[in-house]
């Protein structure tokens, strides 16, 4: 049975499904308050997603997030991209 599957895959009958990859990066920054003469640290998240179909990259780009974005904002954006935007992009790239 494995040989049959290998033959089908080798013949190109079984197409490889599209792959969606998203990466979230945490970015720290420090703000200096001139009135109090103190520094306060903040964090922001940046998300980039890519879609590969058949070994070829059909989409790659950053996701729009509020500024400063929280970890929850980044995860929500990734979930929305995977469930809504990626299928729309793939429909247009057929």
pLDDT tens digits, 5-57: 343 444 444 577 889 999 999 999 888 888 998 998 889 999 999 999 888 99
Q: What is the pLDDT of residues 76-94, one digit of tens each?
A: 999 999 999 999 998 886 5
As a whole number of angstroms, the distance between CA 6 and CA 24 comes to 36
As a whole number of angstroms, the distance between CA 18 and CA 56 comes to 10
User: Closest by alpha carbon to 18, among 92, 74, 80, 77?
Assistant: 92
> What is the per-residue burial (b if ≥16 Cβ within 10 Å, else e) of 4-23?
eeeeeeeeeeeeeebebebe
* pLDDT at res. 29: 86
Task: Tell me the two tokens of residue 45.
Answer: 């998240």
As a whole number of angstroms, the distance between CA 58 and CA 81 comes to 15
């Amino acid at each position: 049975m494995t040989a049959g599957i290998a033959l089908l895959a080798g013949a190109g009958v079984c197409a490889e499904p599209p792959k969606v990859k998203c990466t979230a990066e945490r970015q720290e920054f420090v703000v200096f308050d001139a009135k109090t003469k103190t520094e306060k640290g903040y964090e922001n998240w940046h998300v980039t997603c890519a879609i590969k179909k058949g070994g070829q990259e059909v989409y790659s780009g950053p996701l729009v997030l509020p500024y400063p974005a929280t970890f929850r904002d980044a995860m929500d954006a990734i979930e929305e991209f995977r469930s809504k935007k990626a299928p729309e992009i793939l429909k247009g790239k057929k």
